[in-house]
């Protein structure tokens, strides 16, 4: 039953047909709470109530539908905790609770949802530590926990998520260092082909809709809110080859792992607005699939690795607000970036920084003979005066001929008139 994207208001009815498999009420104007006694049918597989004005708590009774595969309650005003009972949804492969007012800690029981591949709890008020048990979600491909109040360190168990393609823990209170285990994410190690990407991440949860003869899975495209290339946007479709890691706006410290270059399939990397120090690893040059790199607003020092010149797909680069030194790499794709990519690094020099441009094509031409600064200044002054006088005399001569010699003036304007009438025939019919 698909009643999405309408203007339905009021509350959600408690009773629904017993044969119903899918209920889509998303993108309406529904209010009040989700009925605790909601009767969805005998074997509901998809429930989407996203993008409404629902309030109250998430009823734990939703966990009674053990065959539920998709549950989307995002973009509402729901409060309270994530029900511990959700761990009983053993067939669940997509759980979206983003953009609500949920609080409390993240329930470790979710790790029992072994089929879960898409988990988005971003933009809530969740706090506490990210549980180690999250590493048991072996099929997880998308994990979004952005804009919450999660604290402590990133659990090393995150490295057990071998199929994870998108990891977003930005805008939290995470501290400690970036765990070395994060380099074990196999889905980000595989180098991928660029170009036109076929297929999407969403699998079809049912076979076919008997009325339209289309996969029911096509009815579900909620997408993600992510920061790509420095811009927060909503991406309605997530492609199967997309790989991203966003740990920005936290309190992470220490050095960036030296072997970061192992993640050859990584396309988007954002570690900005942390307290990271040390140098940018030379292994970054091995990130051949990288399209966006943001390391701004940290305490990174040392030189920018010359290996960055080998990036073929990089479309966004931000290294500003650090303590980087030395010259900006010259040549390759790096030369296409603007001044803003390197600002506020006091000891960094080279183009495109305006006051420290040192590329050979911007240097003054060599002088064949040795002259003093005073002689060069005098020569330049007389040269400028001579050129200025030449232009003035030439212009004055033409004007004087047109003004003083009447016949020349008439012939000049007659010539201009003939040329205009030849180029623009419609002028011949004008009468002034």
DSSP character string of 216-252:
GGGG----EEEEETTEEEEES--BTT--EEE--SS--
Instruction: Please report which helix (H) or strand (E) contains residue 23, including its range.
Output: strand 22-24
Q: 55: domain CATH number? A: 3.80.10.10
Residue (of 91, 86, 50) closest to 69 by Cα position = 91
Q: Does residue 282 share a domain with residue 172?
A: yes
Whole-model pTM: value is 0.76
Q: Does residue 138 share a domain with residue 15?
A: yes
Q: Does residue 395 share a domain with residue 281?
A: no
Task: Confirm whether 317 is domain-assigned.
Answer: no
Residue 303's SS3 state is strand
User: 133-164: buried (b, 16+ CB within 10 Å) or exposed (e) per residue?
Assistant: bbbbbeebbbbbbbbbebbeebbebbbbbeeb
Q: Does residue 407 share a domain with residue 283?
A: no
Task: Confirm whether 58 is domain-assigned.
Answer: yes
Q: Does residue 270 share a domain with residue 124?
A: yes
Task: Give the contacts of 121 (CB within 8 A, at least 6 positions apart).
Answer: 82, 95, 97, 98, 102, 106, 144, 145, 148
| Inter-CA distances, 364 with 16, 334, 346, 376, Å | 80, 24, 25, 13
Predicted pLDDT at 272: 95
Q: Does residue 294 share a domain with residue 177?
A: yes
Q: Does residue 392 share a domain with residue 289?
A: no
Task: Confirm whether 336 is domain-assigned.
Answer: no
Q: Does residue 397 share a domain with residue 253?
A: no
Sign of the C-alpha dihedral computed for residues 295, 188, 242 and 336 taken in this order? positive
Residue (of 41, 30, 42) closest to 77 by Cα position = 30
Task: Confirm whether 116 is domain-assigned.
Answer: yes
Task: Confirm whether 372 is domain-assigned.
Answer: no
Task: Confirm whether 340 is domain-assigned.
Answer: no
Q: Which of 298, 319, 345 is the last residue of a domain?
A: 298
Q: Does residue 279 share a domain with residue 144?
A: yes
Low-confidence ranges of the chain (pLDDT < 50): 194-220, 359-371, 376, 426-427, 430-432
Predicted pLDDT at 226: 73
Q: How many domains does the chain have?
A: 2
Distance CA 148, CA 128 (A): 10
Q: Which of 276, 298, 320 is the last residue of a domain?
A: 298
**Domain boundaries, position 404:** 388-429
Q: Does residue 33 share a domain with residue 144?
A: yes
Task: Confirm whether 335 is domain-assigned.
Answer: no
Task: Confirm whether 376 is domain-assigned.
Answer: no
Q: Does residue 92 share a domain with residue 222?
A: yes
pLDDT, one tens digit per residue, over 364-398 is 444 344 445 555 455 555 555 655 666 565 655 65
Token pair in block for residue 311: 């990036």
Residue 214's SS3 state is strand
Predicted pLDDT at 423: 55
Q: Does residue 404 share a domain with residue 280?
A: no
Predicted pLDDT at 229: 66
Q: Which of 298, 329, 349 is the last residue of a domain?
A: 298
């Amino acid at each position: 039953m698909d009643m999405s994207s309408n203007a339905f208001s009021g509350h959600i009815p408690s009773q629904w047909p017993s044969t119903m498999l899918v209920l889509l009420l998303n993108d309406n104007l529904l209010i009040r709470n989700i009925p605790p006694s909601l009767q969805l049918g005998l074997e509901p597989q998809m429930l989407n109530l996203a993008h409404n004005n629902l309030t109250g708590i998430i009823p734990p009774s939703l966990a009674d539908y053990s065959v539920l595969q998709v549950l989307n309650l995002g973009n509402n005003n729901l409060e309270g905790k994530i029900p511990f009972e959700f761990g009983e949804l053993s067939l669940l492969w997509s759980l979206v609770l983003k953009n609500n007012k949920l609080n409390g800690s993240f329930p470790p029981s979710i790790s029992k949802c072994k089929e879960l591949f898409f988990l988005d709890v971003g933009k809530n008020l969740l706090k506490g530590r990210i549980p180690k048990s999250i590493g048991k979600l072996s099929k997880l491909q998308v994990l979004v926990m952005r804009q919450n109040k999660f604290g402590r360190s990133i659990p090393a168990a995150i490295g057990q998520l071998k199929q994870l393609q998108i990891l977003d823990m930005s805008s939290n209170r995470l501290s400690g260092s970036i765990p070395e285990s994060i380099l074990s994410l196999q889905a980000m190690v595989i180098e991928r082909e660029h170009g036109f990407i076929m297929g999407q991440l969403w699998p079809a949860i049912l076979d076919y809709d008997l009325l339209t003869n289309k996969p029911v899975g096509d009815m579900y495209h909620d997408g993600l809110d992510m920061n790509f290339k420095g811009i927060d946007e909503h991406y309605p479709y997530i492609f199967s080859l997309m790989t991203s890691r966003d740990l920005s706006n936290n309190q992470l410290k220490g050095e960036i792992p030296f072997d970061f270059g192992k993640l050859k399939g990584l396309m988007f990397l954002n570690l900005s607005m942390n307290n990271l120090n040390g140098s940018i690893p030379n292994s970054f040059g091995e990130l051949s699939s990288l399209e966006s790199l943001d390391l701004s607003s940290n305490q990174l020092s040392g030189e920018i690795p010359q290996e960055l010149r080998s990036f073929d797909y990089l479309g966004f680069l931000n290294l500003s607000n650090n303590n980087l030194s030395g010259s900006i790499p010259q040549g390759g794709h790096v030369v296409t970036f603007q001044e803003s990519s390197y600002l506020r690094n006091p000891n960094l020099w080279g183009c495109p920084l305006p006051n420290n441009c040192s590329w050979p094509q911007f240097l003054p031409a060599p002088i064949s003979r040795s002259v003093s600064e005073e002689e060069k200044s005098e020569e330049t002054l007389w040269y400028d005066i001579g050129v200025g006088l030449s232009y003035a005399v030439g212009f004055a001569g033409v004007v004087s001929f047109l003004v003083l010699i009447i016949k020349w003036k008439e012939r000049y304007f007659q010539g201009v008139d003939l040329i205009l009438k030849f180029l623009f025939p419609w002028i011949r019919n004008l009468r002034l």
